[in-house]
Structure formats: C-alpha cells, structure tokens
Amino acid sequence: MIRIWTLMVVLTMAGVAAAQEARPLAENPQVEARLKVLAVELRCLVCQNQTLADSNAPLAEDLRREVREMIAKNMSDQDIINFLVERYGDFVLYRPPLRATTTVLWIGPFLLLAVAGTVLIMALRRRQKTLPDVVVSDADHERVVQLLSDGAKHP
C-alpha cells in the first residue's frame, strides 16, 4: 500500500512536466493505436475495476504517458507488459495469467459460490427439519370448506 502511495506522489509531481513532453507523442497515430491496445490489457492501479484505457485517474494518465514513452523508445508490447508486471506485479494485468500466485483470483469466485450454495442447502434442510408436520382432521377440513363456501356467497 505504501508502495502505491509513494508511486502516486512521485508520478503526480513528475506528471506536470512530463505531460508536456508526451504531447508530441500523442499526435502520432501509430503510438496512440499501440497505446489503446496496451491500455485495454492493463488495469488502473487506483480504480482496480477499470482498464487503463477507461480510467480518468491521475495515476492512469501517468501510466499511459509512461507507456507512450516506452512505445517511443521502440519497446515491444511484450517488453512493456513485462516491465509493468515486474514493477507492479500481476495485478497490473487486467486478465492475470493462471499461476500459483494468481490461483485464488481464478478459482476464488467459484469456491465462494460453492460455499454459499452449500450453506444455503444446509440452512434449507435444517429449516425443513424444524417445521412441524401439521395434521388436519376431517372435521377441521370440513370447517374450512364451509367457511370458504360461506365467504364466496357473501362478498
């Protein structure tokens, strides 16, 4: 957490000066096209549920600027992704790979669903066992039929 905050402070301070340097790169359509492809594959470190392309957070703008600079240095897309993963971990990837360290991300939702389903089934079975069986006698049944027929005659 401290690492992210430190990064945010450093990138915010450097962002103003670097943003003006990045403007000429933004005019290059090839750089912007590659940036769009990469930004869809990368996660915003602040928003967490948005891609780098969708986020308007200042940190996302700084990361997009940094990716533009790497593109301008003729780094390949894989080199850029590897650099960001090395720096921020698999979390920066919007679709992290299936590894031992990311197994919980991929299997966790299914495990939670299975646990919730099991708890629901157990609760329903326990509830069913605690409900008493009500036996209706013939006299009670006839009285209900009588009351219902009287109610139908007098609206």
For the record, the structure tokens of 111 come out as 């495990």
- Which 3-state string (H, E, C) describes the chain? CHHHHHHHHHHHHHHHHHHHHHHHHHCCHHHHHHHHHHHHHEECCCCCCCECCCCCCHHHHHHHHHHHHHHHCCCCHHHHHHHHHHHHCHHHECCCCCCHHHHHHHHHHHHHHHHHHHHHHHHHHHHHHHCCCCCCCHHHHHHHHHHHHHHHHCC
For the record, the structure tokens of 27 come out as 């005019």
* pTM of this structure: 0.52
Fold of 24-97: Helicase, Ruva Protein; domain 3 (1.10.8)
Each domain of the chain, given as residue ranges in start order, spans: 24-97, 98-132
Residue 9, pLDDT score? 54
Looking up tokens 């990368």, which residue turns up?
Answer: 42
Q: Consecutive sets of 10 residues in the chain, 155 residues long: mean pLDDT of each?
A: 59 51 59 88 84 88 91 91 89 82 83 96 90 86 90 67
